Amino acid sequence: MAYKSLELFAGAGGLALGLEQAGFEHIGLIEFDKYAAETLRYNRPTWNVLCEDVEVVANRDLEKEFDVKKGELDLLSGGAPCQSFSYAGKRLGLEDIRGTMFYHYATFLMKLQPKMFLFENVKGLLTHDGGKTYETILNIFEDEGYKTVYKVLNAWDYGVAQKRERLITVGIRNDLSNKISYSFPQKHKYKPVLRDVLQDVPNSECAKYSKSKEAIFALVPPSGYWKHIDPVIAKEYMKKCWDMGGGRTGILRRLSYDEPSLTVLTTPQMKQTERCHPEENRPFSIRENARIQSFPDEWEFKGNISAKYKQIGNAVPCNLAKEIGISIISKLKEVEENMYDLDFISQENFEKHVANTIKEYKDVLKSIDITKFNRNIIDPIKLLFDKNVFRTSFEEIIDIELHRQRDKSNNNSIGYFHQNIFKYINNCTVPKQGWDVIVKIPNEPIIYVEMKNKHNTMNSSSAQKTYLQMQNQILHSPNDICYLVEVISKCSRNISWGCSVNHNHLEDERIRKVSIDKFYEIVTGDKDAFCKLCMQLPKTIEKLISNSNDLSVQQDTVVDGLKNINPDMLKALYLLAFNTYEGFNSLG
């Protein structure tokens, strides 16, 4: 199953690609920068990329724009640029931050109410404006109905050859937060270094240093910086920075193949944050930076060289995004699994009842021999037509007939399931004889139930008999109600049941025809109770059957028995069905 996501401030696609690799399907990506949007469209022509101002998009009907209903989107992702807010000594709400980039992110959250959101940003957001900015952001997430967790993650811990820290905030909608709790992905034991990712890198554009800077970098060893060269040369290069104090380890910094990269930046030639190639006297190339950011080689970046460096430097590393995406999907799966928890019957009783129903199948699984096969006398002429019309063999037609006979017997087992489950539901009893179910809800009329698997299983005589039984019940107990509950009904309904008895049409509001979903709603108070049961049922059946060793269909002997009658299968069928008819004895 693909989980639906929508991304704001998508950039060149690092976060989006990682989430796609984790299993998300993007229904939309919004990116204002034309080169970044072109990159997205080129690499994923099927993605719905909007190269627009996020504020403009936020003001539209988002459900219509992205063809998703409020509450159904699985994930909203992205990271708004950091901006200060005007406080005036109060806790701010959404309207107080109108006009900021985060306001637009929060607007999407408010309008679409996704199940979860992923908000990524720089580590510095934690301390921005004395921590007030992030505090306001968390408060607004809470106001919009989300429980949040946050953590600073280092990409190096998640398969990225780069020390790059990002503040990751994950939110779970309040109605789901009591079902799941989010945990950030576990750190990888193995941490890659540049040597691991810079093998056989494709040729690409690369920024250059001036000749004088190249000459100075030639003096710097791997893992070294300005302190590792002649102080006179370093002082001349650093100029005013020499007297500023501090480590300033970013100046004249050459990386080593045996260490991870420092944070990949948007411009490769800034003096304060230089990252020189481990062996050559140059910055990293476009494709080298992309490798360090864990982009695949086939992911192409559009625009001029400056635009490409900027796109790569702004991106969330794909491998980090993938790990976060996998952890989020695991929680969305838990939401699905817990969505259909049954609160009207204990898990123990539900499993017990399903197990008892499975036991009802055991007789059906027994081997069928030729005597049992012909108990109701099969029709060989029908089987002959079936064989030829469906262009198959007698063996296959007989196998279908065996399945039909078993299926007919199964109806009793399914009737057992639908009726006897009410033994375990509050206010319900299942008498040994008489009514199928009796419901006694405090301060409510008693309900007497006759249950049918299908709406068309009652002939006229049976319907009259059942109706008269119900009529007799309400005549003796005027406050009671009688239900004919249909498991397979024409539609969901709770209507008065009119019936023709001795050519007279009888109808009483206290005698009703009720579909099984409506009956469950009446009994449990939950309109989705029957749906939840149906969604929980396959998992429970699978669990019980996988733990059982005696639920296999035994080998049938019908075909062998027919061959013993006559090697010609058609003659054998004729002799089985028509052995007392005139003329058929000669076939033997």
Burial 222-235 (b: 16+ CB within 10 A, else e): bebbbeebeeeebe
Question: Strand 49-50 to strand 504-515: parallel, antiparallel, or no bridges (unpaired)?
Answer: unpaired
Q: CB–CB of 237/276 below 8 Å?
A: no
Name residue 95's beta-bridge partners.
Answer: none
Helices 34-43 and 305-314 cross at an angle (nearest 10°) of 80
- Looking from the CA of 304 toward its CB, the CA atoms found within 13 Å total 3
User: What is the three-class DSSP state of 439?
Assistant: strand
E runs forming strands in 57-129: 75-78, 116-122
Alpha-carbon distances, residue 433 vs 429, 483, 485 (angstroms): 11, 17, 17
Rounded to an integer, what distance in angstroms lies between the CA atom of residue 377 and that of residue 367?
A: 18
At 3, the amino acid letter reads: Y
Catalytic residue among 51, 82, 428, 491: 82
Q: CB–CB of 121/135 below 8 Å?
A: no
At 524, the amino acid letter reads: T
Catalytic residue check, 51: no
Rounded to an integer, what distance in angstroms lies between the CA atom of residue 481 and that of residue 445?
A: 7
Planar angle of CA 314, 317, 322, nearest 5 degrees? 135
User: What is the three-class DSSP state of 136?
Assistant: helix
* Residues with active-site annotation: 82
